[in-house]
Amino acid sequence: MAEVLVAKNIKKSFAVGEVVAEVLKGVDISLNEGEFVAIVGESGSGKSTLLYILAGIDSPTEGIVTLLGKDIAGADKAMLAQMRRRDFSFVYQFDNLVPNLTVYENITLPLMLDKRKPAEFADSVKEIVEYLGLSDRLKSYPRQLSGGEQQRVAIARALATSPKIIFLDEPTGSLDKERGRQVMELLKDINARRGVALVMVTHSPAHAKYASRIVRMEDGMIADIGEGSL
Ligand SMILES: Nc1ncnc2c1ncn2[C@@H]1O[C@H](COP(=O)(O)OP(=O)(O)O)[C@@H](O)[C@H]1O
Ligand SMILES: [Mg+2]
């Protein structure tokens, strides 16, 4: 199977005052096309830092990340920005929807920034919106939505560009149990039906089980790799 992401010997240090904290201590991780990987581990173990580096949002102190065949450590900003708009998406724990844009405008924002024409994407966005149960919310503003709905909008926006990979940092972290379960069912379905590879950081062992592979981080390293239920 083709690998869409390969990271080798990833190290990351932050200078905190006079001390240098080594937060990632040599992580190797890869992702196959259409795979669903969950990253778990205690708070502070380096999960978010790793996810940001894999998605090119942050750069490693050492190591190489190859995303869809491209070395992203050496990539220039413009190319990375274009990849972020076309090839992969990111969903944050606390959604960063734009408050003064409607739901529809938020979902299509990455497409508009990529200068795509509404006529080109209208059908596929409509399908995604229906699929996520957001059809009657398109004219609402983020503040008028529940937390679960806002997270569905963030996922719709991530899907709108038809990415090959979606990175998610605790996508259920701010949701109650039932809404969290619904989001997980949705992610499982997106992975199965659309073949989008997912890399998801989660605190929840139950949610990690939705993945095909579970990577457990401990103190900046991968402590073990297990199988999910997929
Ligand atoms: N920008 C930063 N500057 C300094 N320390 C950081 C920074 N980002 C993360 N850290 C530290 O790195 C460690 C791992 O953080 P993080 O990757 O957010 O962990 P997790 O997502 O597993 O909870 C923590 O000790 C955190 O304080
Ligand atoms: Mg985190």
Show the DSSP H helices in the chain as ranges: 47-54, 77-86, 103-113, 118-131, 147-160, 177-194, 205-208
* Angle value at C-alpha 125, between 76 and 139, nearest 5 degrees: 110
Residue nearest to atom 17 of ligand 1 (CA): 46
- Is the CB of residue 14 below 6 angstroms from any atom belonging to ligand 1? yes
List pLDDT tens digits, range 204-227: 999 999 999 999 999 999 999 998
Would you state the structure tokens that stand for residue 5, as one six-digit string?
Answer: 């992401």
Residues with CB under 5 A from ligand 2 (ion): 48
Q: Which domains does the chain have, with CATH numbers?
A: 35-59+75-227 (3.40.50.300)
List pLDDT tens digits, range 113-162: 989 999 999 999 998 999 888 999 999 999 999 888 998 999 999 999 98
Q: 3-class SS at 195? A: coil
Distance 193 CA to ligand 1 centre (A): 34
Band the pLDDT of 1: cuts 50, 70, 90: low
